[in-house]
Amino acid sequence: MQQGSAGEAAGIASATGGPPVLELTDISKSFPGVQALKGVRFDMRAGEVHALLGENGAGKSTLIKIVSGVHRPDQGSIRIDGQEATFASPLEAQRAGIATIYQELLLFPELTVAENIFMGHAPRRRLGAIDWPLMRAQARALLASLDIHDLDVNQVVGTLSVGNRQRVEIAKALSQNARILIMDEPTAALTERDVERLFAIVRLLRARGVGIVYISHRLEEIFLLADRVTVFRDGEYVATKRVPETDRDDLIQMMVGRRIDALFPKFEAPIGGPVLELREVVRKPTTHGVGFTLRAGEILGLAGLVGSGRSELAHVIFGITPADSGEIRLGGQPVSIRNPAQAKRLGIAYVPEDRGTQGLVRPMPLKENVSLAVLARVAKHAFIDRAAEAALAAASIRKFGIRASGIGQIVNKLSGGNQQKVVLSKWLASGPKVLILDEPTRGIDVGAKAEIHRLMSELAQQGMGILMISSELTEIMGMSDRILVMREGRIVAEFARAAATQEAIAAAMMSSTVPMALAS
Amino acid sequence: MATATQTVRAESFRLAGLRRLFGSQEAVLLGVILLLFVVVGGINPRFLAERNLESILQGNAYVAVAAIGMSMVIVSGNIDISVGSLIGVLATVSGSLAVAGAPIIVSWLMPIGISVLVMLIIGFMVAYLRIPSIVVTLGMLSILKGGLISATGGKWISNLPPGYNLAQNELLGVPLPIYFMVGLTAGAAVWMRYSAAGRAIYAVGGNAEAARLSGISRERTLMMVFAIHGMFVGIAAILFATQLSVIQSTVPPNLELSIITASVVGGVSILGGTGTVIGSTLAAVLIAAIGSSLIFVGISPYWLRAVQGTLILLTVLADLLRRRRRTARR
């Protein structure tokens, strides 16, 4: 690490005195149907790395969007250097010295490194023309100041590796004189070598007095890099601790907490024979040798972080991205599933994660969405039996308690929970033996959630095998007979219902192998 | 169903039904057509003469027929801008066959077959090679237009054999093309609305990914759509070729735009997923009636293009407002 001793000294000095550069107090924010943040606080001093930790849905993303001016808080105050601030737009937050590097990098792939760094604030000549030589020189100087010497400022960004693109984003943030840098899971897509370089850059920036909000699920990184850590849970502030004064178990404990849920009416169902078996199933680059058995009447919970390969595994089973190798058995018979139509015929149903883009045909009425997967069955001689279709839709409305004005209502007008029930109805109409639910209750209100859980229990009792993907540990714990944990495209742990604890599941989800070389 | 419908719900069904009827594009178009007849007929009663109304319909039935296929293509989320050139080529092929002494039935059916074939090629490139349909049909447009002019040298085909001019026939005093227009529209409307295949077109156009996950093949659906579109274009070409005693090697300029206009003004969303062929046929009739009425009230027919353009913009604007209201209510 080539940290200048002067910079080091400055970093230490600025980390000790003065008001926090950023101070959030009592911030609340709700979206339709969800309260994302409930009176949380967060503060940041110059020259510190402050990690923000929490499960998916804990409110981290909402918080950074508030700090970066994307969302406005419903209540609470934001102070910059002790001064009250309100950001009407991301641009205003930027002007206040706040830069955010999102997980999905926001660069223009067709433009060069220099153009990306100075997008929107390129140095000008008289008459307003861009001063190209100056811009390139400044871009070079900026990269050099970050100890990046292997990046050509004239290269087109689209041709760069993820690590290099991220370095361009950091340079871009600094070109706007950012004093607060928010990094959302910066190592999620990086190789080991790039992680090392990122850490070096983060330490360099800290020494220069930049405050860094660091979001990561990799606990090891927090211990390597952060000075303080703040934990959120379910949109609430849990605690802020100095990193040397905490440990791994402590953090996991704070993240998952101890919550008792009466929300999940899980009924006992007789467990039957295997309905779906996977052996060494591979689909590059997301699924690496996955094997498990799902039995009739069983709800199998699939836990894991976003990006661990859970949805991708569902896509393999449902034939959206067919397996490269390995064996899939349905009811004991080996099958080869090449597309969703075939999966459907074999008795698999998949309720996708994203209702809007994958589940519903929005301009269509409810009844037509419900019958979509069973068109062949409700049709007589190529023509749809309207009475049968209407009966199916009416039965679905009754059975699932869908709140709609009628079977002819356009699904776009339904609430999230009711839309999800429509997608469920559609798939249950196909009479599946295996039901894959991908985040079945994300973004829907508590009442609808309980109804969907009750329905899942009933379906299991009727002998269906259910594979449930969820990012909510309480849901996984509450509904599953057995729990699998995925990480990096593999199943890394399995828990029986009785043996599962939130801490153990969370630990399995998050443990990762950070190379020893990184320990500084 | 009867078990689920309580009185309240039945009431709201009925209200929704009424609202749908009067808020639908089809009802609006019908109203506008009637209004046009009343107003223009008031200014110049000769506009309402039976002969004139007949000739409006007879001369433009082929546009409506082609717009049926076009509507299916647009509902599926695609577009075909080669259709005008294709109609020109097919008409020339048909006339040439007839003049060369082929059986008349062959000179009628052969172009329909060719049209289906051409559309299958386009459909293959769109469905399987995933090239945007606007690009594929732009290429096809140039090929067909260039090929036609080179092959015919711009000459008209005349001396057509007796019995060839299908579109000039009448049945019970009504010109044959009107039967084609009404019959094909009704058939296509029923098929689009009530068949499983028709439903698949709406599903693919409304959300191709959701349709695929529901086990509906995007590729096969699109191949079917283009093949059927080809059939309608073929029939339209025959109606066009057989309406006069000569066949011009040039189709009316921007015919494809007139056809697309009929679909869009008829309420077919350019984004795919919604619209009916009844709407597109009514719109084709409306546009034809406007063209004719311009003459009767003494406005230069050159204004027709501007009127068409205005109609498109008004329709798209209305569609936008409807969508916005829909999302706002969510």
Q: What is the pLDDT of residue A435?
A: 95
| pTM (two decimals) | 0.76
Chain A closest CA to B25's CA: distance in Å?
Answer: 15
Residue A230: Cβ-neighbour burial (10 angstroms; 0-12, 13-18, 19+)? buried
Q: Do B1 and A390 touch (CB under 8 A)?
A: yes
CA distance A83 to B297: 71
Q: What is the pLDDT of residue A15?
A: 44
- Beta strands A333-335; A490-496: pairing state: unpaired
Q: What is the mean pLDDT of residues B67-76?
A: 96
Residue of B nearest to A407 (CA): B13
CA distance A400 to A235: 29
Half-sphere exposure at residue A183, Cβ-oriented, CA atoms within 13 angstroms: 30
Single-letter code of the amino acid located at B308: Q
For B171, the token pair is 């049945």
| Cβ–Cβ gap B12/A405 under 8 Å | yes
Across the interface, of B196, B210, B326, the residue whose CB is closest to A361 is B210
What DSSP state is assigned to residue A55? Answer: -
Residue ranges of alpha helices (H) inside A327-412 are 340-345, 366-370, 375-378, 386-400
What are the structure tokens assigned to A241, written together? 């601790």
User: Chain A contact for B203, CB < 8 A?
Assistant: yes
Q: What is the ipTM of this complex?
A: 0.78
| Tokens describing residue B89 | 């080529």
User: Is residue B75 within 8 Å of residue B205, measured between CB atoms?
Assistant: yes
Tens of pLDDT, residues B168-211:
888 888 889 999 999 999 999 999 999 999 999 999 999 998 99
Q: Which residues have a Cβ under 8 Å from the Cβ of B328 and sit 6 or more positions away?
A: none
Q: Which residues pair with A283 in a beta bridge?
A: A287
How many angstroms away from the CA of A432 is the closest CA of chain B?
13
Contact B209 A410 (CB under 8 A): no
Give residue A159's pLDDT. 87
Q: Is the dihedral of CA A458, A459, A465, A469 positive or negative?
A: negative
The answer on pLDDT for B324 being more than 90 is no
Mean pLDDT of all residues in B233-237: 96
Q: Which of A350, A363, A412 sits opposite B330 (nearest CB)?
A: A412
Q: What are the chain B neighbours of A373 within 8 Å (beta carbons)? A: 214-215
Q: What is the dihedral of CA B194, B196, B198, B200, to 10 degrees?
A: 140
> Which residue of B17, B211, B269 is in closest CB contact with A361?
B211
Number of Cβ pairs < 8 A linking chain A and chain B: 111
- Cα B187 from Cα B184, distance rounded (Å): 5
State whether residue A429 is helix, strand or coil. Answer: helix
Residue A434 β-bridge partners: A348, A465
- Nearest chain B Cα distance for residue A300, angstroms: 22
**Rounded Cα–Cα distance for residues A463 and A207 (Å):** 60
For the stretch B142-171, pLDDT in tens is 999 888 888 877 778 888 888 888 888 888
User: In this predicted model, what pLDDT tens digit does every residue of B40-52 receive, in sequence order?
Assistant: 888 888 888 878 8
Q: Is the pLDDT of residue B67 over 90?
A: yes
Cβ-defined contact of B207 to A394 (cutoff 8 Å): no
Residue B156, pLDDT score: 83
CB spacing of B216 vs A398 below 8 angstroms: no
What's the rounded Cα separation, in Å, for the pair B108 and B91? 9
Q: Chain B: give the shortest CA distance to residue A411, in Å.
A: 10
> What's the pLDDT score for residue B321?
76
How far CA A297 is from CA of A9, A292, A480, B54, in Å, comes to 63, 15, 11, 68
**Residues forming a β-bridge with A232:** A237
**What is the pLDDT, as a whole number, of residue B157?**
86
In angstroms, the separation between the Cα of residue A384 and the nearest Cα of chain B is 5
The pLDDT, as a whole number, for residue A249 is: 80
Measure the CA–CA gap between B279 and B67, rounded to whole angstroms: 10
Find the farthest-apart pair of alpha carbons in chain B and give their distance in angstroms, rounded. Answer: 70
pLDDT at residue B329 is higher than 50: no
DSSP string, A178-196: -SEEEEESTTTT--HHHHH
How far is the C-alpha of B227 from the C-alpha of B117, rounded, in Å? 7
Helix (H, G, I), strand (E, B) or coil at A236: strand
- What is the maximum alpha-carbon separation in chain A? 83
Q: Please identify every stretch of chain A with a pLDDT value under 50, giving residue numbers as ranges.
A: 1-16, 260, 262, 513-520
Flag whether pLDDT at B116 surpasses 60: yes
Tell me the mean pLDDT in the region B29-43: 88
String of DSSP letters for B56-74 = HHHHHHHHHHHHHHHHHHH
Say how far apart CA A406 and CA A384 lie, in whole Å. 19
pLDDT of residue A446: 67
Cβ contacts (< 8 Å) between A340 and chain B: which residues? 212-215
How far are the Cα atoms of B264, B288, B321, B323 from residue B317, in angstroms, in the given order? 11, 22, 6, 10
What is the C-alpha to C-alpha distance for residues A518 and A513, in angstroms, rounded to an integer? 11
A367, A375, A396, A409: best mutation site toward chain B, by most B Cβ within 10 Å? A375
Quote the strand ranges of A22-101, DSSP E.
22-31, 34-44, 49-53, 75-80, 83-85, 98-101
